[in-house]
Amino acid sequence: MEIVVYDGSEKVKSVQLPGDVDEYDILIKSTDEVPFPPRRESGEPPEIPEIEPDEIEKANNRNAYETMVRNPNSQPAKVRRFVYERQTLTRKQVDAWAEEEGYSPHGGGLQTALVVLDNVTNEINRTGAENEDQRIVWTGN
């Protein structure tokens, strides 16, 4: 396993961990500044998975999905693109990005977009409690 440390988009250090251990407990000490992981090089995310809107039970999730499909500049589409570009984030980083974009980090729109990406299109995986330490990982579809 390799651990890579970045300062912004600049690689600062790379450490190779011994080979036989499958899992490590890693403590990451954060600072007040919330640096984003480096951007992905490959541009736009893949096409949004096609899902019949009638198959989406909750109306707000259905509306967010349909908005994401129709409008690439909508909040759900921007959230999707941001997570795709960064691949692995904490909720704290997503909230900081949302504020920079003019969205409420604690608003229903951001949470609904994440729920749609996790439970409807199955493109992300969220682990941990729904607080700033929650991990959000792009898994594709």
pLDDT in tens, the chain (141 residues): 667 766 655 666 777 766 665 555 555 555 555 555 556 666 788 999 999 999 999 999 999 999 999 999 999 999 999 999 998 999 999 999 999 999 998 889 999 999 999 999 999 999 987 777 899 999 985
Residue 121 lies in a domain: yes
Where are any strands of DSSP class E within the chain?
2-7, 10-16, 88-90, 124-127, 135-138
Provide the CATH number for the domain around residue 84.
1.10.10
First to last CA, the chain: 25
Q: What's the structural domain count of the chain? A: 1
Which pLDDT score, from 0 to 100, does residue 132 have? 75
Asked if residues 136 and 94 have their Cβ atoms less than 8 Å apart, the reply is: yes
**Of 94, 76, 78, 73, whose CA–CA distance to 137 is shortest?**
94
Residue 8, in any domain of the structure: no
Range(s) of the domain holding residue 76 = 39-138
Q: For residue 88, list its beta bridge partners.
A: 137
The model's pTM: 0.71
Sole residue written with tokens 């984003």: 36
Residue 140 is predicted with a pLDDT of: 85
